[in-house]
Structure 1
Amino acid sequence: MYIDYLLNHPNKIKEVAEMIYKEFVEKTGSNMTYEDVVKYFSNTKRHAFPITVIALENGECLGTVSIFENDLKIRETYKPWLASLYVKPVHRGKGVGQKLVDKTIDIVKELGFRTLYLRTEYASDYYRKRGWTYVETVSDDQHEQIDILKMKCI
């Protein structure tokens, strides 16, 4: 298995868009369409946000993660953000997610940032056990409680 930039694998854009659309867009009731998500992932970059990487093995996309400049409008001073971490269910528990996160931290360091943030509604314990530090809990525009965590990238 290896991690690479999505922009190097344009044939995987629709697959990544479908994973993210089903997991993070449909479930939130967002107005974004699947086509909007495809367009978004068609424009990810390597040295500027948004950045998306994928885990590949034998040509199969196992999972993905993105880096956004901002993933929470009410906290615009926190930059950048780990976002949309998703591993296909059949590949969970095999370290794919951690390798995606590790690559994200490496990219953020290369770009000169010292801190990486993330938001989560349900997985605070997962991230805390992996070295992330709790920052605060906020309410989003739908009044859902969101934990913000950070990782020092030194």
Structure 2
Amino acid sequence: MIDFLSNQTAYIDDVANMIYKEFVEKTSSKMTFLEVKKFFSNTKMDDFPITLIALEDGKCIGTVSIFENDLKTQDLYKPWLASLYTKPEFRGKGVGQILITETLKVVKDLGYKELYLRTENAAEYYKNRGWVFIGNALDAKNEKVDIFKFDLKQEIGER
């Protein structure tokens, strides 16, 4: 089942833990766990930031967020898919794709015509799912990232 984190607040710690371990500890970010938890405690359903979660048997097995901007050097692009994460034991089972598909639907329902993302190491994953590479950019740490766009005018479904 996919739902908004704001509807399932009991999973805020789970999401904060996943994101902290994957996207904060593994980088040079200075955010603390409590800051990450506070951020996810304030996600919404119809305004950014928005976080979706994948639930199975009462456990949170994955998450994805929608940010107004996920790359400050590219502020002309809005909104962004961000922080896609599936627990390792559930990878390869379509959880990430289901989260992406639901994210596309949410963004389209909000009236946007496209969605962007940045990736350092998953370009092929997104290319294989209908995302179009639009270029490279430098992030705030001067590291190269790939930028992709998904055209929400096309049919949204399994890719």
Task: Give the shorter-chain TM-score range.
Answer: over 0.9
Count of aligned positions: 153
8 Å CA contact 2:73, 2:138 repeated in 1: no
User: Which whole-Å CA distance do the structure 2 matches of 1:98 and 1:80 have between them?
Assistant: 18
Residues 50 and 65 of structure 2 are in contact (CA less than 8 Å); yes or no, is this contact kept in structure 1?
yes
Shift of the alpha carbon at 1:141? Answer: 2.9
Aligned mates of 1:7, 1:141 — CA distance in 2 = 29
User: 1:88 is matched by which residue type in structure 2?
Assistant: K
Could you state the TM-score of these two structures normalised by the residue count of structure 2?
A: 0.95
Match of 2:87? Answer: 88
Matched-pair contact (CA < 8 Å) for 2:73–2:140: no
Distance 1:13 1:138 in 2: 31
Amino acid at match of 1:100: L
Structure 1 Cα separation of the partners of residues 77 and 142 of structure 2: 20
Q: CA RMSD in A?
A: 0.7
Identity of aligned residues (%): 58
2:11 paired residue number? 12
For residues 96-118 of structure 1, the C-alpha deviation after alignment (integer angstroms, 9 at most, x for no partner) is: 00000000000000000000000
Task: Give the distance between the partners of 2:8 and 2:106, measured in 1 at CA.
Answer: 18
Ranges of 4+ aligned residues in structure 1 off by more than 2 Å: none
Gaps of 5+ in 2: 154-159
What are the superposed Cα offsets for residues 68-94 of structure 1, whole Å, 9 maximum, x if unpaired? 000000100100000000000000000
Instruction: For residue 142 of structure 1, report the CA deviation from its aligned partner.
Output: 2.2
Taking the aligned partners of 2:74 and 2:141, their CA distance within structure 1 comes to: 16
Residue 73 of structure 1 corresponds to: 72
Q: CA deviation at 1:143?
A: 2.5
Per the TM alignment, residue 27 of structure 1 is displaced from its structure 2 partner at its CA by: 1.1
Q: Secondary structure at the match of 1:122?
A: coil
Gapped regions of structure 1 (runs ≥ 5): none
